Amino acid sequence: MPVFPLGAHVDDAGTRFAVASTSADAVEVCLVDGEEGALTERRVELTERTFGVWHGHLPGVGPGQRYGYRVHGPYRPWQGLRANPAKILVDPYARRITGHVTDLDAARGWVDDPMTGALNERDSLGHVPLSVVTGPDGLPAHPRPDVPWSETVISELHVRGYTRCHPEVPPEHRGTYLGLAHPAVVAHLSRIGVTAVELLPVTSIADEPPLLERGLPNYWGYATLGFLAPHAGYASVPGAEVEEFRTMVGALHAAGIEVILDIVPNHTAEGGVGGTTLSYRGLDAPAYYSLGGNGHDADITGTGNTLDAGSPTVIRLVCDAMRHWVTAFGVDGFRIDLASVLGRPRSGAFDPHAPLLTAIAVDPVLSRVKLIAEPWDATGEGYRVGGFGVAWSEWNGRFRDAVRDFWRGHGGIAEVASRLSGSSDLYAGNGRRPWASVNFVTAHDGFTLRDLLSYERKHNEANGEHNRDGTDDNRSQNFGVEGPTTSPVVAERRLSAARGMLATMLLSTGTPMLLGGDEIWRTQGGNNNAYCQDNAISWVDWDGGEAAESLTAFVARVTAIRRSSPALHRDRFYRDGEVLWWHPAGRRLRGHDWHDGGLHSLGLLRGEWLLLLHSGPDAIPCTLPAGGPFVPELDSTRPDGAPVSVRPLPAGTTITQPARSLLLLRAPTD
């Protein structure tokens, strides 16, 4: 009888079950029937064991059957061994998961103390999620768009939050996979030039113990229970998450929009040793988790546990799961949360050629899709931006910080110039292209764009952590008023700065990433860590009025300009002489200019495009370089970006550049 693939796989006679556990003495598959409060269970021991995999065939079992595993074996917490047959466990390879943790005490494997207390013999059935047998995987509903990296424009968004309040989406579909597939939503994404959505986690989510104790959800979803199963909470019809997810991908693909999944192969929802026993901890904690010498979980993720990136069990699970999303659903890529962890086998030193990173990069399926690393973890030297291998693009936090600092008038121009031109200092050395830099100003973790320009301090009181959570390094500005304002002057300054920052990001060399909702001027009320807020704080408000419509039109204009010229989505780094850095006084930038902390203006001439940035609080004269005449194409001080005049300006003309503005001009080519 075949051992692989792992998981539950239906054939004509029944279902084959296979689960990995090297430390178990015995494993039972448990078939669950009945309704909530009156569940029944039939246990069948898996008597075959091959290469650490327990497996067997159960006749007559088909799709829709709920099941779990019970593991018998040693319970020695000081060695990390926590087998407890009273806990029914989710299959790590389940392709559908149902239910929630409804009783935290029942879900824990210990009594009194996780290290010295007795084994908790209370049965968890009826209080924890269960796996569900599914039929064979279908085929993707539509061919993948295969958008080149150099032409990619990403919107990072939350499946639930982006459409939960959308007025054109039917109420029953708001906040679901089908909501994101709605023609009005797809049309909006197309209008603003998005070629890929990067979805916050959609793999099966379970709230961690600290949130369960506070009665709050993990809204962002960085708490994975099952790596192969779509999250059931985003389906409009219970149990239809697989089909609805496939429909969503097909609708986006039909519009030429790729789907990138944010996945979390660095930790699970079980938390630290004081947490729950839902799957991995009970199956074989030493094979899944990086453990300290005393049986505690190593924690370089800040979540209580860390998956061991050097474990063959983990490497196989992560690669199998990612491959499943590509082959079964047709997804176009992945953003790896805390990807630096994947380069730290057994929580050790970072190695860009570590086994798990290498396995993903050379996989014949995964190497053909977009791979994005969040180059960070919770160790002291965790920030590894620029440190990944040639197969990887990266969220470029240095771009974010440089653009925020420039537009608030902090520091000089050297850092932002490096980021504008593709961050060759980070990515050229190992043969990567400019699009390896995923350029962003805002993301889910932090202020929205509106809040970045409305608050100088975080306001996270609703999270229940006394405003201690979330970063204090926001590099934000409020233009003299903390929060909402009735001043039209302050309101327009904020919007003008927003347009300047958006245009900077969209016109820089690299891959731009919008935070979904920024284009309609979304606020979170100053909360910069809304991970547990499944409510109006996090949901996108589509009734944004005139500011939302004008900002949407502005983004659409800039992305259209970007698409119109290969020079604005270049896939090669610039060589000496291919760009001209320009001083507003009408000369090339000189060596000392790059170190002038008081210089807040610069120009960049690349091909036929002249980009002028000025973050100072007052208007300045700016003399145009040779190479004209120049035709104005974009003015960030205008609500929709359309210049007041498109009259050609001869080379050498001195114009007045407004305060806090970005201007884009084009030299006509024959």
- pLDDT per position as a tens digit, 308-328: 999 999 999 999 999 999 999
pLDDT in the model for residue 2: 46
pLDDT in the model for residue 509: 97
- pLDDT per position as a tens digit, 278-308: 999 999 999 999 998 889 999 999 999 999 9
Backbone angles phi, psi at 11, to 5 degrees: -130, -170
Q: Is the pLDDT of residue 59 over 60?
A: yes
Task: Give me the mean pLDDT over the 246-265 stretch.
Answer: 98
Higher pLDDT, 627 or 157: 157
Find the catalytic residue in 207, 308, 374, 633.
374
DSSP state of 118: P
Helix (H, G, I), strand (E, B) or coil at 97: strand
Note the Cα 416 to chain centre separation in Å: 24
| Summary count for the chain: helices (H), strands (E) | 15, 29
Find the catalytic residue in 208, 244, 270, 337.
337
Higher pLDDT, 333 or 140: 333
Q: Is the pLDDT of residue 30 over 50?
A: yes
Share of the chain above pLDDT 90, in %: 95
- Residue 156 appears among annotated catalytic residues: no
CA 316 vs CA 200, 203, 546: distances in Å: 23, 17, 51
Task: Give me the mean pLDDT over the 85-107 stretch.
Answer: 97
CA 504 vs CA 17, 400, 451: distances in Å: 53, 11, 18
- pLDDT per position as a tens digit, 333-392: 999 999 999 999 999 999 999 999 999 999 999 999 999 999 999 998 889 999 999 999
Q: Is the pLDDT of residue 47 over 60?
A: yes
Rounded CA separation 181/198 (Å): 14
Positive or negative, the Cα torsion across 171, 173, 175, 180?
negative
pLDDT in the model for residue 628: 85
| pTM value > 0.95 | yes
pLDDT in the model for residue 50: 95
pLDDT in the model for residue 54: 97
pLDDT in the model for residue 117: 95
CA 487 vs CA 482, 500, 547: distances in Å: 12, 20, 14
Annotate 388-429 with DSSP letters as a single string. S-TT-EEE-HHHHHHHHHHHTT-S-SHHHHHHHTT-HHHHTT
Q: At what angle do helices 397-407 and 488-507 cross, to 10 degrees?
A: 140
pLDDT in the model for residue 3: 56
Measured from the Cβ of residue 23, the count of other Cβ atoms closer than 10 Å reads 19
Q: Is the pLDDT of residue 8 over 70?
A: yes
- pLDDT per position as a tens digit, 576-586: 889 999 999 99
Backbone angles phi, psi at 84, to 5 degrees: -150, 100
- Residue 262 appears among annotated catalytic residues: no
Band of the pLDDT at 1, cuts 50, 70, 90? Answer: very low
- pLDDT per position as a tens digit, 442-454: 999 999 999 999 9
